[in-house]
């Protein structure tokens, strides 16, 4: 009887002394392209097994060969991740520390994963200086699921809630809230195509509103709150969707009753949703609330009621470590301002060849939308940028134009390269 063809995985098991060093037999089982990548990326990586309670330092410098193969990814989300975080994850992918297995294989109730999720929460609390009377939840379903979870947990069907709608995501949150509460839009920027943010003093807030909802940074339209409104009723809480500027700058968490964010823009891969909620707001969910949307269930079970997105949480933890190593969010914000400044300066100095429609005082540090004076050049712009290894610059389908998302992990060199390309493109087409 003929033997089944050997797979790379089965051959790997035949080399137990050094499972990360393939034998000549194993090499034959990999495609040529895979071998080439192994040869260029394996050498700089040092893998250390240590006790689960010990933190392995993040690589400080990515390998030259690995870096040269990577593009500058300006996608709005899922988005670019820090190279040193990816290299750390790569080094721990096959076996995490002394666990004998990958994080992807761990029981979410075992001591190894418990150490991962607990450290991730601890580091996030340090980054944002989260008070002890706030719970941190690692959930699933994206920020969109929270559009329903928030009214279900914070109010009853006849309760009024206020919305400041500064873009598409705020509008979607409002529409979902109509199913579970009585939402009231106290301001909308739709008539101006979501290019500004109102003066808070002029807003007529609803008396006895359960909460005031904002989207702190509108990913599609590039509008960002630089400070935050204070509800006039002391019993009204402030709720913010911070998906696209989460951990990009310091935030006074105590001003909010609830903060929520999808991880896939600034702090990890897609699949993790983070909720930071004041503990006294937990436990009053509407009777119809599904168990998976009840904050009380998740808080009581430390985000482990069911199997969480384990690997995504692990990756978020690595990003939190990296942000702390940079000096925390004060230093991170300085870098983000520097990157955004050179991009906006280039747009503003182009004599109209490029144009950002957003009011200058509320331009996002994370998502920079812009148009070309000649729309017919947009396809060429995207095509030529891609040849220079700058991808995902096409604007959202609902607004068109271009959009450069320059999250925490986008290096300054990436924005410098984009700016140089923009100037050259203008010189050739103006």
Average pLDDT, the chain: 89
- Asked whether residue 163 carries a pLDDT value surpassing 70, the answer given is yes
**Does any domain span residue 163?**
yes
Choosing from 123, 162, 171, 241, which is the catalytic residue?
Answer: 241
Do residue 334 and residue 313 come from a single domain?
no
Do residue 262 and residue 332 come from a single domain?
no
- Asked whether residue 16 carries a pLDDT value surpassing 60, the answer given is no
Percentage above 70 pLDDT, the chain: 85
Domain closes at, from 326, 351, 377? 326
Greater model confidence, 23 or 127:
127
pLDDT band (50, 70, 90) for residue 58: confident
Cβ atoms of 176 and 150 closer than 8 Å: no
Cβ atoms of 368 and 244 closer than 8 Å: no
- Asked whether residue 214 carries a pLDDT value surpassing 80, the answer given is yes
Cβ atoms of 224 and 245 closer than 8 Å: yes
- Asked whether residue 38 carries a pLDDT value surpassing 90, the answer given is no
Domain closes at, from 326, 349, 366? 326
- Asked whether residue 189 carries a pLDDT value surpassing 90, the answer given is yes
Do residue 272 and residue 305 come from a single domain?
yes
pLDDT for the residue 19: 42
| Total structural domains within the chain | 2
**In terms of residues, how long is the chain?**
430
Cα 268 to Cα 312: distance, rounded to the nearest angstrom: 7
Each residue's pLDDT tens digit, 400-423:
899 999 999 999 999 999 999 999
Each residue's pLDDT tens digit, 107-117:
999 999 999 99
Do residue 410 and residue 269 come from a single domain?
no
pLDDT for the residue 398: 81
> Has 192 been annotated as catalytic?
no
- Asked whether residue 14 carries a pLDDT value surpassing 70, the answer given is no
CATH number at residue 97: 3.40.640.10
pLDDT band (50, 70, 90) for residue 392: very high
Do residue 301 and residue 367 come from a single domain?
no
pTM: 0.86
Do residue 100 and residue 180 come from a single domain?
yes
pLDDT for the residue 55: 58
**Does any domain span residue 272?**
yes
- Domain assignment of residue 280, given as a range: 84-326
Half-sphere exposure of 374 (CA within 13 A, CB side): 10
Each residue's pLDDT tens digit, 216-233:
999 999 999 999 999 999
- Asked whether residue 49 carries a pLDDT value surpassing 60, the answer given is no
Choosing from 265, 322, 339, 394, which is the catalytic residue?
Answer: 265
**Does any domain span residue 15?**
no
pLDDT band (50, 70, 90) for residue 4: very low
pLDDT band (50, 70, 90) for residue 430: confident
> Has 179 been annotated as catalytic?
no
Choosing from 88, 96, 162, 169, which is the catalytic residue?
Answer: 169
pLDDT for the residue 186: 97
Do residue 386 and residue 245 come from a single domain?
no
Cβ atoms of 368 and 406 closer than 8 Å: yes
- Asked whether residue 21 carries a pLDDT value surpassing 70, the answer given is no
> Has 424 been annotated as catalytic?
no
Average pLDDT over residues 174-196: 97
Query: Is the omega angle on the peptide bond into residue 78 within 30 degrees of 0, that is, cis?
Result: yes
3-state secondary structure the chain: CCCCCCCHHHHHCCCCCCCCCCCHHHHHCCCHHHHHHHHHHCCCCCCCCCCCCCCCCCCCCCCHHHHHHCCEECCCCCCCCCHHHHHHHHHHCCCCCCCCCCHHHCCCCCHHHHHHHHHHHHHHHHHHCCCCCEEEEEECCHHHHHHHHHHHHHCCCCCEEEEEECCHHHHHHHHHHCCCCEEEEEEECHHHCCCCCCCHHHCCCCCCCCEEEEECEECCCCEECCCCCCCCCCCCEEEEECCCCCCCCCCCHHHCCEEEEECCCCCCCCCCEEEEEEHHHCCCCCCCCCHHHCHHHHHHCCCCCCCCCHHHHHHHHHHHHHHHHCCCHHHHHHHHHHHHHHHHHHHHCCCCCEECCCCHHHECCCEEEEEECCHHHHHHHHHHHHHCCEECCECCCCCCCEEEECCCCCCHHHHHHHHHHHHHHHHHHC
Cα 20 to Cα 383: distance, rounded to the nearest angstrom: 38
Domain closes at, from 291, 326, 361? 326
pLDDT for the residue 51: 40
- Asked whether residue 168 carries a pLDDT value surpassing 70, the answer given is yes
Percentage above 90 pLDDT, the chain: 82
Phi, psi of 100 (to 5 degrees): 80, 5
Cα 68 to Cα 125: distance, rounded to the nearest angstrom: 35
Do residue 217 and residue 186 come from a single domain?
yes
């Amino acid at each position: 009887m003929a033997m089944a063809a050997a797979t790379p995985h089965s051959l790997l098991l035949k080399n137990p002394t050094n499972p990360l060093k393939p034998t000549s037999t194993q090499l034959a089982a990999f495609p040529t392209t895979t071998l080439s990548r192994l040869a260029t990326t394996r050498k700089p990586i040092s893998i250390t097994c240590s006790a689960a309670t010990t933190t392995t330092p993040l690589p400080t410098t990515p390998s030259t060969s690995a870096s040269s193969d990577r593009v500058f990814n300006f996608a709005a989300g899922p988005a670019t991740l820090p190279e040193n975080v990816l290299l750390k994850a790569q080094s721990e992918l096959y076996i995490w520390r002394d666990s004998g297995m990958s994080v992807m294989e761990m029981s979410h109730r075992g001591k190894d994963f418990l150490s991962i999720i607990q450290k991730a929460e601890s580091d996030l609390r340090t980054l944002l200086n989260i008070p002890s009377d706030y719970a941190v939840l690692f959930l699933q379903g994206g920020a969109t699921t929270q559009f329903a979870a928030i009214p279900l947990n914070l109010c009853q069907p006849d309760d009024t809630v206020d919305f400041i709608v500064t873009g598409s995501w705020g509008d979607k949150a409002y529409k979902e809230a109509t199913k579970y509460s009585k939402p009231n839009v106290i301001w909308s920027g739709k008539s101006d195509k979501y290019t500004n943010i109102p003066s808070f003093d002029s807003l007529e807030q609803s008396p006895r509103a359960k909460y005031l909802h904002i989207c702190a940074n509108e990913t599609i339209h590039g509008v960002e709150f630089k400070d935050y409104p204070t509800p006039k009723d002391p019993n009204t809480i402030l709720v913010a969707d911070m998906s696209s500027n989460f951990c990009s700058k310091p935030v006074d968490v105590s001003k909010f009753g609830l903060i929520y964010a999808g991880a896939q823009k600034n702090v990890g891969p897609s699949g993790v949703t983070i909720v930071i909620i004041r503990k006294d707001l937990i436990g009053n969910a509407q009777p119809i609330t599904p168990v998976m949307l009840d904050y009380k269930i998740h808080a009581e079970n430390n985000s482990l009621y069911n199997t969480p997105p384990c690997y995504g949480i692990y990756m978020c933890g690595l990003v939190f470590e990296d942000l702390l190593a940079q000096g925390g969010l004060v230093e991170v914000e300085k870098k983000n301002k520097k990157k955004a400044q050179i991009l906006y300066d280039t747009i503003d100095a182009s004599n109209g060849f490029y144009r950002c429609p957003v009011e200058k005082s509320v331009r996002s540090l994370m998502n920079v939308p812009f148009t070309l004076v000649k729309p017919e050049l947009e396809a060429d712009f995207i095509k030529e940028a891609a040849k220079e290894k700058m991808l995902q610059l096409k604007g959202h389908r609902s607004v068109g134009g271009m959009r450069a998302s320059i999250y925490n992990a986008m290096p300054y060199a990436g924005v410098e390269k984009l700016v140089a390309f923009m100037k050259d493109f203008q010189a050739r087409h103006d």
